[in-house]
Amino acid sequence: MKTYLVKSSEVENKWVVIDATDVVVGRLASYIAKRLRGKHRADYTPHVDCGDHVIVINADKAVFTGRKRQQKNYYRHTGYPGGIKELSADAILRGRFPERVMKLAVKRMMPRESSLARQQFSKLRVYAGSEHPHEAQQPEVVDFKSMNSKNLKAA
């Protein structure tokens, strides 16, 4: 039996919308990374971009488990000596661009140093509010909350 490798011209990419309200960030990021890479498909091919376009709405309402919201830090460097900056997840979520938390979580679950991974990551759209400008693509709604009871943070 021969192994079937899908060609990039044969791939049909879907559009999916996921609501991140009260969903655990890490679990959702893992699911999104799998959809972006195409690993949910039976015809997954590692060297071909066969993933879906993913739209995440209400990213500012995603939650962390435990005390990660206060204790998890994100680092960046200005490029100058001693120029390392640090922000907590809480500060980013309360700030001007709360969708960056979800984008960073997904980006760090993708393969590193790969032009294919950059191409797959560009198919992620994250919005802090409930509105998105991609209605023309007729995305299907994925109810991530109901897939597993662990997806929701226990109150």
In CATH terms, 12-63+99-145 corresponds, of 3.90.1180.10, 3.40.109.10, 3.40.190.10, 3.50.50.60, to 3.90.1180.10
Is residue 6 within 8 Å of residue 43, measured between CB atoms?
Answer: yes
pTM here?
0.92
DSSP 100-148: HHHHHHHHTTSPSS-HHHHHHHTTEEE-SSS--S-GGG-PEEE--GGG-
Confidence tier at 3 by pLDDT (50, 70, 90): confident
The DSSP letter of residue 79 is: S
How do the domains of the chain map onto residue ranges? 12-63+99-145
pLDDT at 75: 96
